[in-house]
Structure 1
Amino acid sequence: MLPAANRPILEHVFDALVEAGIEKLVAVVGYKRDRVQDHFGPTYRGIPISYVSQTKQLGSGHALLQARSVVDGPVLVMNGDRLVDAATIESVDTSYAETGHTSIAVIERQDTSRYGAVEVQDGDIVDIVEKPQHDEFRLINGGVYAFDGDIFEAIDETTRHAGELALTDTIELLLESDRIQAVEVDGMWVDATYPWDLLTVAREVLARGRVVESARDEQVWVDNSARVHDEATLQSPVVIGPDCEVGPDAVIGPNVALGRNTTIGANSVIQHTVLDADTRVDPSSTLIDTVTGQDVNLGVNTVVPGGPADVQVGTEVFEDQRLGAVIADRAVALGDVSFVSGSLVGPNARLATGVTVDGTVREGAEVVR
């Protein structure tokens, strides 16, 4: 339910499925199940939705296994945190319909080490390489699959690792006895695994105009309930959500999405940034390459200078990411706070006046100097 230009990512996923002609949707939900069901209800754009629960997060294969009771026959499977276009789904569906073999979307990427690579020979996948250390691979698993109904039995036969069932392990098992078609695609493909990925997601969604707010100008969308001062500047592409307020001489955009009830103070500059609902940015602040959660408050003269930066998450370092800061739900910066590029601030953190944030601030922490 993370935002993609003010709409949940899952809504964009459902759009692609509906536009590809899928006639029934099954959502495997766990974290914040009620929020998902309350948002979508029993149907989406006239297509019925069934919900099944994954009470414990035990891997992608385990998630698919939960849908067994509501799936009869062939099934098309997608990751819920990746944006693809309808043409990609149609290509995978067509490949399965024409060959009867498991079909998987593959896409060319430079950073195969982040996603895991697939080795393809004569149109068939022959191996899956998790986190390759060398650059001889160029194709990754695109996360769109077409299986026959036997996929559930194959998952049952898959060996668990650390208690988890990975769908990629099941695919490797299938490779021992069957062909798997590689469907090379080149349409929209955006992964949203990490919070800073929302910057890329927003950029791609805005470029394609997949927004619901009213168009005020070319690639400028402003909800009818939003209030934008006449002396504010909106640089396309930009979307301003419901009940937002933008003060005088503020500069918003390019590549900015302001969520519902967000307030931007006078003389602030917001660029390449995604602000979730109920965020407040006080006057004379600068946010570049920034992602906030909900109900974040940033005081006067807050400065996030933007990336690139190396971002550390636990023991893993993601090099050369275009990220100013990720500031999680309900975090507060009291004013004159500066962020070093690549900073991560946890939920409910409190940053005192004048501090400089460098690195990670844990959930609920108070930084005073």
Structure 2
Amino acid sequence: MFCVFFLPDYKSLFIHLFHVALTAVSISVLKIKTMLGLIVTSLVLVAVVILYNALKSMRKCDLLSLGSKIMHKTNTTRLITLFPKSTKCRGVKASNGHTLFVGNPMFVSTLEEVLKLKARDDDVFIATYPKAGTTWMQQLVWLICNDADIETSRKTSIPERSPFLEAVDAPPVLRGIQSVENWPINKQRIIKTHYPFDLLPEEVRTNRKGKIIYVARNPKDLCVSYYFFHKMGNKIFENPGTWSEFLSKFSSGNIEAGSWFDHNLKYWKEFQKDKERIYFVTYESLKKDLKSEVKAISKFLDKELTNQQVQDIIQECSFDTMSKNINPALAKVGRRLGMNFSQFKFMRKGQVGDWKNYFTLNQNIVFDHLYEEKMEGTGLDFLFELE
């Protein structure tokens, strides 16, 4: 009897032991999950810190470029948030003491990087005040330097072949300071810039590296073209207001790129001192006799072209051909920046004398007075219409 009474209940014991084991396992799993959670959280925090430090150490212009690449990869249709609408134009002083009159934040981000850019002996800088014929000259110079290679020029857009010095790289086609810095050493750089002479790279100004081609355009036609460009790009430029308001800003220099007079006259002055390295040409002389200018620019760049190559370049750089081939390519850049290509074209008319359709009699009298005052004694004058 006693032996039977003390026999253990194996079933109950088994169940008890199972519960104990299950509890232990549950506690272990919970601990493992907790540990894994802590590890993952720690790794995320470390990654965040590393990313933060990496971003913090990046140049502002590189951050803008990175943002544009991310937006391109994620198929964001516009870069408006990346290149915010310009604030009111203001003077931004560079480290060399000279001032850039600008409203668009992108051009502020590249200012110091441009000053310290390493220049190359074969660099060609195409410098202009905006809407003076920049794109036209980019195409001309690229074709001259590349033996009138029309086929290649039609396969790749101008921004891809001739980077914009003070812009940032923004896919799919805009090439800026990053592309200039990383341009293949065995390929010549043909660089576009709207910067005033005093804000060109230090090595270009003081070490006399590279060559500069400056295109100047009569201020009346340029002002009209610049007005419509602001209307087309009102998502990234300061609102131009009415024509009268814009003309007033332009006349005072209170506008993106600053004073037309200061910009042109400084390059004109430097041209007088260094004609071997600086070529100064007007938009009007290009329109009047493109063949002579193609030959003169070729000579300036030490390029020998055949008569056929000269003729091919003239044909390819006619306004009709440029407008047909260039406008669609540049629209890819513009649309991603929020520019309005539904109502306006990048290459609008290309005429000399179109200003007469916009200037009132009084506006013309006032501007002529300003022009005479600013240009007196400089030796520089412009054609305001062609015969």
Give me the TM-score of the superposition, normalised by structure 2. 0.20
Bigger RCO (CA 8 Å, 6+ sep): 2
Which has the larger share of helix?
2
Q: Which has the higher strand share?
A: 1
Q: Larger C-alpha radius of gyration, 1 or 2?
A: 2
Q: Compute the TM-score of the two structures, normalised by the length of structure 1.
A: 0.21
